[in-house]
């Protein structure tokens, strides 16, 4: 059923979601049939579990198999959102679609061909919208990203009204560019008439980095980079937002309910930042993980210019070795975003939807990484830092950085 099963990731979530649902007033979702695209991923499976516990008839679809276990009452359909016929069939009799599926967020995915990323993030979203129209779906909640407003300038506790969406042509990476295009498509579809004459209501959620037990995209890579370079990224004064998966589930449920007539469609045609309560420096955020795994948290900080050079080298190495080794480093966009001060406010979601972030820590995430074999013990560590390739890459990195500095 699932490629990775973790009691930390699944059982603990079931315990927490019961408390979460007891505090939420989302009556319009109870008993409804819902579809979650990208439902096999980290956030998707968490949202699907919560919807199921809320009493929904849940269908999830994903190109790959779910990363964790799920209730036998949840229907899983393996498929590609670029298949319009499939998406239309999945939307049959559905009341609300949560469109999460996307591609190109980080690492090697970011370096895929532009047309491929666009075919999923834009083409797939177009398929979802048209399927909603054809199958008379009443609500569509789109999982966008904070990247749609993230350019080269720092900002502090900014609101949605204060941060205009960056034009697609000004984005440095195809993920952000295509997510921006897709968000516009979704919001412009708000108010469209469905095939039987009803109205489709849409909204968008813009999360920052997501964390929680079971997360497999960011944590292991960032732990690795801090171990490799023995230094932190950027400046200790730069901060950003994170969001625990429980809080992101919370925000999606409230936004979906806000699309209903019972809530006067308050969230229709709106975009919301959903974050944890307190912004924090990216590296300091990971300090409990680094020390908890038995490593010494570094004191040094690498300036942005050096980080940019290292990331550029990482991209070169990726292209050189990808035919015979799955090297996943960091891209220049990732390094820049990690070091740039950018924080947003969830005030709009709080005022309009009643969103209030729950207090969450990193204990479950640390336990999950240990369960996967991360830690100082070389016999259980899954790190590649002891490999010959690592030593070669690190040596080349040092040489190139030194040459760049000297020149």
The interaxial angle of helices 388-406 and 304-321, nearest 10 deg, is: 130
Q: Are 82 and 61 in contact (CB under 8 A)?
A: no
Q: Do 289 and 223 touch, CB atoms closer than 8 A?
A: yes
Cα-flanking dihedrals φ and ψ of residue 225, to 5°?
Answer: -70, -35
**Residue 348 phi/psi, 5° resolution?**
-60, -45
Q: What is the pLDDT of residue 300?
A: 82
Q: Which of 163, 165, 164 is nearest to 177 (CA)?
A: 165
Average pLDDT over residues 10-26: 76
Q: Average pLDDT for residues 133-144, to the nearest whole number?
A: 98
Q: Is residue 302 part of a domain?
A: no
Range scoring the smallest mean pLDDT among 47-51, 119-123, 371-375: 371-375
Q: How confident is the model at residue 255 (pLDDT cuts 50, 70, 90)?
A: very high
Mean pLDDT of 280-286: 89
**CATH code of the domain in which 186 resides:** 3.40.50.720
**70 contacts 13 by C-beta, under 8 angstroms:** no
Query: Between residues 292 and 221, which one has the greater pLDDT?
Result: 292
Domain membership of residue 133 as a residue range:
7-217+242-279+343-368
Residue range 207-222: mean pLDDT, rounded: 82
Can you give the pLDDT at residue 227?
66
Instruction: Give the C-alpha separation, 106 to 275, whole Å.
Output: 19
CA angle 400, 403, 406 (to 5 degrees): 150
pLDDT at 110: 59
326 part of a folded domain: no
Q: Is residue 385 domain-resident?
A: no
The answer to whether position 296 is within a domain reads no
pLDDT reading at 314 higher than 60: yes
Q: Check whether 71 has a pLDDT greater than 70.
A: yes
Phi and psi (nearest 5°) for 342? -155, 110
Q: Specify if 229 maps to a domain.
A: no
Which pLDDT does position 393 carry in this prediction? 55
pLDDT at 322 over 80: no
Model confidence at 387: pLDDT above 90: no
Q: Higher-confidence residue: 130 or 214?
A: 130
Residue 407 counted as domain residue: no
How high is the pLDDT of residue 145? 97
pLDDT at residue 2 in the model: 39
Number of domains in the chain: 1
Count of CA atoms in the C-beta half-sphere (13 A) of 20: 30
pLDDT score, position 262? 96
User: What is the structure's pLDDT at 348?
Assistant: 98
Tell me which of 245 and 376 has the higher pLDDT: 245
User: What is the per-residue pLDDT across 144-161, written as a single tens digit (0 to 9) for each?
Assistant: 999 999 988 999 999 999
- 355 pLDDT tier (thresholds 50, 70, 90): very high
Of residues 82 and 299, the one with the higher pLDDT is 82
- pLDDT for 11: 66
Domain assignment of residue 313, yes or no = no
Flag whether 393 is in a domain. no
Q: How confident is the model at residue 364 (pLDDT cuts 50, 70, 90)?
A: confident
Active site residues: 175
How much is the average pLDDT of 210-237?
76
Structure tokens at 184: 């516009």
- Report phi then psi at 41, rounded to 5: -85, -175
In which band, very low, low, confident or very high, does the pLDDT at 383 lie, cut at 50, 70 and 90? very low
Q: Taking residues 303-322, what's their average pLDDT?
A: 70
């Amino acid at each position: 059923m699932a490629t990775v099963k973790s009691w930390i990731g699944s059982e603990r979530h079931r315990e927490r979601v019961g408390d979460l649902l007891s505090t939420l007033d989302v009556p319009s979702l109870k008993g409804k049939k819902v579809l979650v695209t990208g439902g096999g991923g980290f956030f998707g499976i968490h949202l699907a579990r919560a919807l199921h516990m809320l009493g929904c008839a849940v269908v999830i679809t994903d190109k790959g198999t779910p990363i964790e276990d799920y209730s036998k009452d949840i229907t899983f359909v393996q498929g590609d959102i670029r298949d319009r016929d499939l998406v239309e069939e999945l939307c049959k009799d559905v009341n609300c679609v949560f469109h999460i599926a996307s591609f190109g967020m980080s690492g090697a995915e970011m370096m895929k061909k532009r047309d491929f990323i666009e075919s999923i993030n834009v083409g797939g979203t177009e398929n979802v919208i048209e399927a909603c129209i054809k199958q008379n779906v009443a609500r569509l909640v789109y999982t966008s990203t904070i990247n749609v407003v993230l350019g080269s300038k720092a900002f502090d506790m900014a609101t949605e009204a204060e941060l205009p969406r960056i034009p697609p042509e000004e984005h440095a990476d195809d993920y952000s560019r295509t997510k921006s295009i897709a968000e516009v498509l979704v919001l412009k579809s708000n108010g469209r008439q469905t095939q039987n004459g009803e109205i489709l209501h849409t909204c968008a959620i813009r999360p920052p980095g997501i964390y929680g037990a079971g997360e497999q995209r960011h944590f292991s890579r960032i732990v690795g980079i801090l171990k490799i370079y023995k230094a932190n990224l950027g400046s200790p004064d730069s901060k950003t937002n994170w969001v625990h998966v429980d809080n992101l589930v919370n925000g999606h449920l409230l936004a979906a309910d806000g699309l209903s007539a019972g809530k006067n469609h308050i969230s229709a045609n709106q975009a919301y930042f959903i974050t944890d309560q307190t912004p924090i420096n990216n590296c300091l955020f990971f300090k409990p993980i680094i020390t908890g795994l038995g490593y010494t948290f570094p004191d040094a900080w690498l300036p942005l210019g050096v980080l940019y050079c290292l990331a550029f080298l990482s991209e070169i190495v990726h292209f050189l070795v990808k035919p015979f080794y799955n090297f996943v480093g960091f891209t220049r966009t990732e390094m820049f975003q990690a070091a740039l001060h950018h924080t947003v406010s969830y005030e709009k979601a709080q005022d309009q939807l009643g969103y209030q972030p729950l207090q969450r820590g990193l204990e479950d995430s640390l336990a999950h990484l240990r369960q996967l074999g991360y830690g100082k013990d070389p016999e259980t560590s899954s790190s590649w830092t002891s490999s010959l390739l690592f030593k070669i890459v690190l040596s080349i990195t040092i040489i190139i950085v030194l040459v760049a500095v000297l020149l």
